[in-house]
Amino acid sequence: MEIDNHLVKEVKFLKSPNFNNRPAEENISLIVIHSISLPPKQYGGSYVEEFFLNNLNISDHESFKEIKDLKVSSHLYIKRDGEIIQFVPFNKRAWHAGDSVFKGVPNCNDFSIGIELEGADDDIFTEEQYNSLVSATKEIIKKYPLISKDNITGHSEIAPNRKTDPGNKFDWEKYLKLV
């Protein structure tokens, strides 16, 4: 895996419209791990991709009505089979963290890279996902030296009153040991 011009060379890039410029590109210093599935706890298909591209057909599932007006994205999305899709170049601000604080610094989208795992808070993640996540994390750390293992966190940690992902089944010990 290699990052060139803020894109992972070996993965599909689907340009999300849901991003903007960071206040300071040189301050990229955090990775935020998330989980997402659309509809909830249903895997496979392309609903997450469509959601990040603002192309989700709201009439396909009742739960989509709750998110119809949201404009969100992540830098990377890792599917159950380990496939990685990039939606926003790393030097741009993806809209993944929302109202958030890390180590006293607010607005985590300004300085973080968001990685979404296809999953749910109370489901385990696949070996393929961990393998892809570890590979991506190692490459991101190489390319963005302000990021270290101490600057990797879950969405639930930076937005504790709002979010619970990636959930209690995400194996932090395993992941960080492999990084």
Residue written as tokens 């009742």? 62
Length of the chain: 179
Task: Match 């890039």 to its residue by tokens.
Answer: 13
CA 136 to chain CA centroid, Å, is 11
**Helix residue ranges, H only, the chain:** 47-52, 127-143, 155-158, 172-178
Asked whether the beta carbons of 28 and 111 are under 8 A apart, the reply is yes
Cα 56 from chain centroid?
A: 18
User: Which residues are annotated as catalytic?
Assistant: 116
The H-or-E segment that residue 92 falls in is: strand 92-94
